[in-house]
Structure 1
Amino acid sequence: MAETREAVIGRELAIAPSKANTWLALIFGLIFAVGTAVGIYGFIAGHEHVFGITREVPWGVLISTYVFFVVTSTGLCLTSSIGHVFGVKSLMPIASRSVFLAIATILSGFAVIAFELENPWRMAIYNIISPNLTSNIWWMGTLYGAYLFFMLVEFALLKMGHHRKAGLAGLMGVIAGVAAHSNLGAVFGLVGAKEFWHGPYMPIYFIASAMMSGGAAIIFFTWLAYKVNGWEIDAKTRKALEVTGKIYALLLAIVMFFTTWKIIAGLAGQPPGKYEATMALIAGPYAFNFWFFEIGLGLVLPFVVILAVKARNIPAMAIVSGLALLSIFVMRYDLVVVGQIVPHYEGLGIVDMPHLYHYSPTFLEWLVVLGGFGLCGMLFFMGERLFRGHLDEH
């Protein structure tokens, strides 16, 4: 039997966002404002004076943060599409929040990359008037623009109740997201001069790790929304999170497989460039990042916990998912930086050529990164307030 209008209004009032939700939106908004101010200062003072990047290591923490956000966004899109696009009804209760989070994370990624580029407005202008169809980066920008457009259309249609049309827009978003994200993997995988990145598996790895990130984000942010606002998770949402937890565990196993063979490929036969980078990752200056964050907190811990609780303990899964998101951020940082630290002529005995280049983000770089997370957090909590917990009135 359909709910009466009074019943729907009463249910909406019963889960009105808390004051804590509003305060958190304001706090994250302030963090975003600080990061924006630092990013604008970088345009004025010059990136070489504000950020820690060099000619030898031109891609730093802002690039890895951009990768983190767009990977998470694509993962949210792909995971949520299993429900309302491909008809798996058990996942439909998380669709609206997941699509909104996909929009929030892609916008946060765009904000960070805008401050990393010295002239971001040129990208928008010349993307249209002077397209380079042979450039992976041109395709990345174009496809992610299309992806954002379809996500916005899909979310608007969901809120208007046009679920069939929203499913079609979501399908277009999935196609654009997969194309954009596999292309992002190709930006790294097709760089022959950087052996640590080079290889045909990178686009596939990016898609698998994106869905892993999306699963973790859905579990953590859904639980966080209910926790902050003092709501009780209803049976349908709980079931959706349990199914998401099982999907997340499967993707963790897949990424473990990819990671294992990535290390083996970097060590077997000591391939020049790839071997030095791999050793720096597993037994060098980035070993703690790799073993503690990437492997321990990012893969093993959530996999073991989800199996132990049989994907039924939502708080336990949410906590390990939050830790995994932190670890995935470190994973993206290691991927971007370690791929650049091996000198191109390393091992040839060139005078004054270091064994590994050094990169360390500056304090101002970290503020821009925090600004990106501030934007994401602000949009998330604003969404919870504006859309009253993303109620599915159907």
Structure 2
Amino acid sequence: MALATYIHKRAGSARHPDRETADLLFFPTGGGKTEAYLGLAAFTIAMRRLRAPDVLGAGVAVIMRYTLRLLTLDQLARAAGVVCALELMRTDPANVNERGQKLLGDWPIEIGLWVGSDASPNKLGRTGEADQTTAVGRVRRYRLGQDKRAPAPIKACPWCGTAFTPESFSCTPSNAAPTNLEIRCVNDRCDFTRNRPLPILTVDEPIYRRLPAFLIATIDKFAALPWVGETGAFFGHVDRFDPNVGFYGAAEPNHGRPLDNGWKLDPPDLIIQDELHLIAGPLGTVAGLYECAIDQLAERTRDGKRIRMKIVASTATVRRASAQIAALFDRHVTNIFPPPGPDRADSFFAVTVPSSTDPARLYMGIAAQGRGPKLVFLRALTTLLAAAQAA
């Protein structure tokens, strides 16, 4: 309790000038960048919950963005494990104050996957609808063996590693009027089974209402901002609450009760942009246009001071990073971590060792100008399989 009070009073003020500085994690592949910013995300979510009581600490605290959907799905399981740990801490009877209130709030700490409908259903649907791409339709088809794809793009429990089965997915409270697609582990000894689903949201509609503390998305998904009014809730623009469903903003009137004291939720505190070097050329131009809107939606003014989100980016290759970040995020000071040292082979944070001591990775590329990707994949895979057969 003393540690929680200290953190609450001393750490991570929203008014800190460091918010105007972008931090860039520049480290080789496999060096632990993901673990670094997952730890930062966990600290940010916990700080937000410690500062506000009841449900007022809810809302999207961290947005992690990727340029490729494959990267997004790959990172979901790792980030979900962190969120599972936070949710168990939130519900631990030991983590309460002197009045019996949960230190990490009354609203669940969840992670949301906000991507296109090919990877996860964008709508819940209901029984009898012709559209089979909804959550209800995909769960039904998956259970009947009519569709080999699971309703959610995650294969195993991020907490215990047990593989999911068709019975792991269900639309609750019913297929006739669902409010969420819930995922449960089939391992009876797992913490997230039976009446406790995993804190993972993969359908757009419940994501807009439940506002997961950790949101993973591809940058193209933010094209929905001007067309889907419910996305305004990501930036704290809600004023009503239903304890069984979630939060409501101006796009969904006549639902829920007013938030305590008429408060609105805080906007996101942290943006994590992975693989920064991929946002270049035409993609960088489009992303920069949306970034202006995102920055404006998340901006707040307190005591006459402008408060914006903290930007943390990561890359394994860097060139003109400060200029790119200034053009993309409007952050004119960039700190690169770790800073360059006097010895390229020993930067204190990483040491180069010979391959004779530690087996090294060999990265190879294929130059195939004027050839389609299918042909390149076919030739490369045929060669690899032939070599494996010969070995």
When Rg is computed on C-alpha atoms for both structures, the one with the higher figure is 2
| Structure ranking higher on relative contact order (CA contacts 8 Å, 6+ apart) | 1
Tell me which protein shows more strand as a share of its residues: 2
With structure 2 as the length reference, what TM-score do the two structures score?
0.29
